Structure 1
């Protein structure tokens, strides 16, 4: 102990964030709850339809071709959903990720270290577990990335229903984790699932992307300028052989987060352009793009109990399910614990490791991106693609149920804490706990980096 009588300070994982960030995450949760419900509805309709006497009509709808053949865009509706609509989803993901690290609480590297490390752990361990289980199976290694990503809409919708009183730090953690591992997944898609690369088309995509970037950096919002440029970028990326959803992420990263400065040096009133676009496109992504993709991708014929049993016993299916249900929580927990161990940080005194366990299990919901990667990995193997769909649906359901059991119990505890905090509102509607020593994203004894320090 030092001569001043103050003991060495210990940092704490999951320190309380700022009130603006907590409010924003709560707003995102409300939006994604609706989107997750629509996604689930789309998936249920697809599965019921594919196993009904009208399954032929479902397959005909998926295979219906539309688009100009001269531009190589005469694609099936299923492909339009995977390549086109999911580009909107990844555009919003790009906006969200950039905002988190430019203007959110996670702009500080030490606060961002936990969800980033957790995201990488949640990608590596499932991939390794998948490869171990499918070792020796011809062609199975192509699907190693299927259990890599958490479905943002699905996971946040489940969290909003079963754990809406959980601390905002945990909700921010899950949101950031899901966005980061979606970004990792799209990099994996671009690097490992690109075939017949056309460098000329890829370089050509940089031209409309550069013009789009130039305009948005100057806060141009004219849709008649930006949408054609975004469409041209998407078409050229699609033509290049790189999966077209990569264009969505690149366009999202191009949008500025900060507000424009006035001549006197102060920021302009109102939200930044990234926030403005996010408000415009998140409802389109959650309410249309992802549910329609689920409708056109999740439909799989089970073939009765024998067919279902055969699908779930396939080594590829076992690898996918093990990766999502076991690999995800193990990887996330191991990475989170390792960050705490390396930085000598303790878990926040208001939390318990069971909270992190619950969120880690919830991250095993790998619906949208898992289905997408499954279709890319086994594009020439219809039977395996169908088995992957069954495995992803089953694993997502199991992860949802297990997470609900854990988080529902913890939700009761945090409900009492929430009632105590909201009873302390003042005239500005902000809990006083965010206006004292926590006003800058800290707790008592915590630095502005989000790493809390306790005093005896």
Structure 2
């Protein structure tokens, strides 16, 4: 009997991406690292102020109302609310741009490459939510409303930690973390849109279709103009975006979703002019990322992370709450179980192995870093519990504590691994110099 021809050899899991994708990932890593450090400083300052003699002034500033009533539109919000619903819309706009680029010309357009980070992200969302639910089945009344708090990964904070402890880790690992975090953002967006929508007002959404359609039409028809001119986008697209945001704010759907909807209308198909490849999505990402990571997210963190702890006894009391325990268990342990477990299942079902340059311990370290929830977790905590509910601050203590623990655990695992990869790189460089091999980076075509 003739032996059937072997099927195609599966590509190793977490293999190196294309040259273009790696270049784009490195740019994002650099930008998000700086933003992550600013984010940590802003959150730390908020916690200090909230637990100092200036706490009353801090709370009064955060809760002060700014805005107005414009016909049926209610735009009278507290400063903290403006940050959570307004400034974070910029963050979600960037997340939408990243998602669209990944699915249009990133490695996620390839189902084979997309499968691993998508399944890993799903596991990293489902298992933490399940752990939180199990721990809070007999918790305080209303505690289960925070089931989605430990589901998120903070890109900026996680990449800032990775930049400090993972300078020599394989590029495929860093690409995996970023891609996983982007897919995680998509899942968080869907969770917020579906489960945290209250008192839906469809009429506002119907009216929002008009500025959304105009935004998409202008973005499609005037790509070259917006690429060349900073002012054109601000003058023409920003007002349409602001109107869309205000309508979403009053529709019952969380206003940050407006940023994602508009981002998905920005063309991401690469164009070429004078030998330079670009897309409008890439152009907007480059322009607006400093505004998001350098201002919008840190301001939100400053206004959201300031929780009164009440000294060591108050901290211990918060940690003893099932809500805080569920968040910490979900972000620190659930992320590792979900991400590594899902990746393991994918490799077994596809009969594939990790790239030979990567070990499972490396993946555990990356999953630990992915347990840094922070920005989106704080947002979901605010959506889950009313500010007057004691669980509101307890949840935020859990998010902050879990993010610190996840960062420390990730560093503890990845620092020795990083040292190992540094030695390998040094040995390879020595061998290459001895053999007269030029030290250059080759892309997938051998150039």
TM surpasses 0.5: yes
Is residue 407 from structure 1 mapped to residue 410 from structure 2 by the alignment? no
Runs of 4+ aligned structure 1 residues displaced above 6 Å come to 2-8, 420-429
Q: Distance in 1 between matches of 2:386 and 2:344?
A: 38
Is residue 34 from structure 1 mapped to residue 45 from structure 2 by the alignment? no
Instruction: Determine the structure 2 residue equivalent to 1:232.
Output: 243
Could you tell me which of 339, 343, 361 is aligned with 1:336?
343
Q: Distance in 2 between matches of 1:186 and 1:414?
A: 36
The alignment yields a C-alpha RMSD, in angstroms, of: 2.4
Deviation at residue 414 of structure 1 after TM alignment = 1.9
For 1:254, what is the secondary structure of its paired residue?
Answer: coil
Q: Distance in 1 between matches of 2:76 and 2:437?
A: 58
Deviation at residue 299 of structure 1 after TM alignment = 0.3
Q: Distance in 1 between matches of 2:275 and 2:40?
A: 40
Q: Deviations over 1:275-333 (max 9, x none)?
A: 00000011111101110010000001111222111111111111111110111110001
Out of 216-225 and 236-245, give the one that drifted further: 216-225
Could you tell me which of 97, 107, 132 is aligned with 2:99?
97
For 1:165, what is the secondary structure of its paired residue?
Answer: coil
Q: Distance in 2 between matches of 1:195 and 1:60?
A: 27
Is residue 254 from structure 1 mapped to residue 257 from structure 2 by the alignment? no
Tell me if the contact between 1:259 and 1:268 (Cα under 8 Å) persists in the aligned partners: no
Deviation at residue 417 of structure 1 after TM alignment = 4.0
Out of 421-430 and 12-21, give the one that drifted further: 421-430
Could you tell me which of 301, 311, 314 is aligned with 2:318?
311
Tell me if the contact between 2:212 and 2:262 (Cα under 8 Å) persists in the aligned partners: yes
Instruction: Determine the structure 2 residue equivalent to 1:63.
Output: 63
Q: Distance in 2 between matches of 1:9 and 1:192?
A: 41
Deviation at residue 8 of structure 1 after TM alignment = 7.6
Deviation at residue 152 of structure 1 after TM alignment = 0.5
Q: Distance in 1 between matches of 2:287 and 2:437?
A: 31
Instruction: Determine the structure 2 residue equivalent to 1:18.
Output: 18
Deviation at residue 67 of structure 1 after TM alignment = 1.3
Q: Distance in 2 between matches of 1:236 and 1:5?
A: 59
Instruction: Determine the structure 2 residue equivalent to 1:272.
Output: 279
For 2:16, what is the secondary structure of its paired residue?
Answer: coil
Q: Deviations over 1:407-440 (max 9, x none)?
A: 111111222344567787999995136553xx7x
Is residue 113 from structure 1 mapped to residue 115 from structure 2 by the alignment? yes
**Aligned positions, number:** 433
Deviation at residue 18 of structure 1 after TM alignment = 1.7
Q: Distance in 2 between matches of 1:380 and 1:41?
A: 24
Q: Distance in 2 between matches of 1:321 and 1:413?
A: 30
Q: Distance in 1 between matches of 2:218 and 2:37?
A: 36
Instruction: Determine the structure 2 residue equivalent to 1:454.
Output: none
Deviation at residue 112 of structure 1 after TM alignment = 0.6
For 2:131, what is the secondary structure of its paired residue?
Answer: helix
Tell me if the contact between 2:19 and 2:443 (Cα under 8 Å) persists in the aligned partners: no
Deviation at residue 3 of structure 1 after TM alignment = 8.0
Tell me if the contact between 1:19 and 1:430 (Cα under 8 Å) persists in the aligned partners: no
Q: Distance in 1 between matches of 2:437 and 2:22?
A: 18
Change (3 A) 1:188 1:422: farther
Change (3 A) 1:13 1:226: same
Q: Distance in 1 between matches of 2:442 and 2:323?
A: 52
- Unaligned ranges ≥5, structure 2: 227-231
Deviation at residue 260 of structure 1 after TM alignment = 4.2
Mapping for residues 138-217 of structure 1, pairs under 5 Å: 138-217=141-220
Instruction: Determine the structure 2 residue equivalent to 1:444.
Output: none
Q: Deviations over 1:212-252 (max 9, x none)?
A: 11111121522211111111111111110100000011111
Is residue 432 from structure 1 mapped to residue 442 from structure 2 by the alignment? yes
Q: Distance in 2 between matches of 1:236 and 1:332?
A: 37
Instruction: Determine the structure 2 residue equivalent to 1:363.
Output: 370
Tell me if the contact between 1:129 and 1:319 (Cα under 8 Å) persists in the aligned partners: yes
Q: Deviations over 1:31-79 (max 9, x none)?
A: 1111001000000000000000110000011011111233311111100
Q: Deviations over 1:156-194 (max 9, x none)?
A: 111011102111111111111111111111111111111
Q: Distance in 2 between matches of 1:11 and 1:23?
A: 21
Change (3 A) 1:269 1:435: closer
- Unaligned ranges ≥5, structure 1: 440-456
For 1:114, what is the secondary structure of its paired residue?
Answer: helix
Instruction: Determine the structure 2 residue equivalent to 1:291.
Output: 298
Tell me if the contact between 2:378 and 2:396 (Cα under 8 Å) persists in the aligned partners: yes
Tell me if the contact between 1:324 and 1:364 (Cα under 8 Å) persists in the aligned partners: yes
Could you tell me which of 301, 322, 327 is aligned with 1:320?
327
Instruction: Determine the structure 2 residue equivalent to 1:86.
Output: 88
Deviation at residue 91 of structure 1 after TM alignment = 0.5
Change (3 A) 1:117 1:5: closer
For 2:269, what is the secondary structure of its paired residue?
Answer: coil
Change (3 A) 1:294 1:359: same
